Amino acid sequence: MNPQELQALVDQYKAMADTGQISKEEHIQLLSGINIMEGINDDAEGLALKEQLNTIINAAITVASLAA
């Protein structure tokens, strides 16, 4: 989720709370859910990056092993 999407979601939840569509507690829970969701996304992105780096490193090791 990019910053603009995050801000739009936060604004949407605030508007829902302001109009009484959701309670204050629900508003806080929804905002907490974004925080958790972003934490999960960060971890998944970090894992994907680590996998890519591992692939590159392993390929470099293979090439170096064949050249030696």
pLDDT tens, position by position, 16-68: 989 999 888 898 888 888 777 766 666 777 788 778 877 877 788 887 878 64
Instruction: Report the alpha-carbon distance of residue 68 to residue 64 in Å, rounded.
Output: 6
Domain boundaries, the chain: 3-67
Instruction: Report the alpha-carbon distance of residue 42 to residue 46 in Å, rounded.
Output: 6
- pTM beyond 0.85: the answer is no
Pick from 63, 66, 67: nearest CA to 55: 63
pLDDT tens, position by position, 37-50: 766 666 777 788 77
Question: Do 27 and 11 contact (CB within 8 A), yes or no?
Answer: no
Question: Do 13 and 25 contact (CB within 8 A), yes or no?
Answer: no
